[in-house]
Structure 1
Amino acid sequence: MFTKTKAFSGFSVDDIPAAKKFYGETLGLEVSEQNGMLGLEIAGGIPVLVYPKADHTPAAFTILNFPVDDIEATVKELTARGISFERYGDDHDELGIARGDGPLIAWFKDPAGNILSVLQG
């Protein structure tokens, strides 16, 4: 039934202008705005919908993962742009990169408290 439809993901925020600034200026994504909602243009051409929700509760899981070639350089650049990295567990280095089982990964939050990550496989 859905083999030919281009599905897309979406998530809520409590402040569209703050989200637009964060995703567009801080992260450098192409951001469009229509009908009070945002469209994030990520590689691959599939948009991500960001919609306002007055009683927004941040996701308790990672909503967007950004694969990168050099996680240390990326984390340093994001830190310089004002982003703080989360620490889940004990296996993080001084930059906030988890170096346990699996890919190298570092988590951070958007202004609405949603969890994002950069990871290097």
Structure 2
Amino acid sequence: MLSIKNTFSSFSVNDLEKALEFYSETLGLSVTKDEMGFLNIDLPGGDRAIVYPKGTDHKPAVFTVLNFVVGDIEEAVDTLTSKGITFEQYEGNIETDEKGISRGRGPLIAWFKDSAGNILSIIEEYE
């Protein structure tokens, strides 16, 4: 059997300094740069994500790379909107309201993009 000791997520960005500013200042996460120049984002619960530079070869992810669970999605959307975040608007299989919140089946969820165009989400805590 495979003995897994830890897990982490990783994704690329086109501009590491813009990503550092976005994740630390806009989202308020603890972010450090390691010896290889990668960003280590400390996530709630003890997890982490690694962000690495790809420069002009970066292609934004077309899927959600990070999901943030929040207690109140309305408050979270309002807070991030006040910091300049624009929430994605979807129609079809997934529909969002004027604030960008999907209120269909499953949890309340809203998607937005980071400084490199990668898709992130906030999800209201549910049972």
TM-score above 0.5, yes or no: yes
Q: Out of 86-95 and 76-85, give the one that drifted further.
A: 86-95
User: Aligned residue pairs: how many?
Assistant: 121
Which sections of structure 1, spanning at least 5 residues, go unmatched?
none
Aligned partner of 1:101 in structure 2 is 105
Distance in 1, matches of 2:27 and 2:3, equals: 32
Aligned partner of 2:116 in structure 1 is 112
Query: Is the Cα–Cα contact under 8 Å of residues 13 and 19 in structure 2 kept in the other structure?
Result: yes
1:95, distance to aligned residue in structure 2 (A) = 1.2
Aligned partner of 2:29 in structure 1 is 29
Secondary structure of the 2:24 match is: helix
Which sections of structure 2, spanning at least 5 residues, go unmatched?
none
1:50 matches 2:51: yes
Give the AA of the match of 1:39. N
Identity %: 55
Distance in 2, matches of 1:88 and 1:3, equals: 40
Q: Name the TM-score, length of structure 1 as normaliser.
A: 0.94
Secondary structure of the 1:18 match is: helix
Misfit runs of 4+, over 4 Å: none
2:90 to 79, 88, 91: 88
Secondary structure of the 2:74 match is: helix
Secondary structure of the 2:81 match is: helix
Distance in 2, matches of 1:98 and 1:17, equals: 31
Distance in 1, matches of 2:48 and 2:2, equals: 17
Query: Is the Cα–Cα contact under 8 Å of residues 73 and 122 in structure 2 kept in the other structure?
Result: yes
C-alpha offsets along residues 69-120 of structure 1, whole Å, 9 cap, x if unaligned? 1000000000000000001225322211111111110000001000000011
1:78 to 80, 83, 87: 80
Aligned partner of 2:41 in structure 1 is 40
Give the AA of the match of 2:54. K
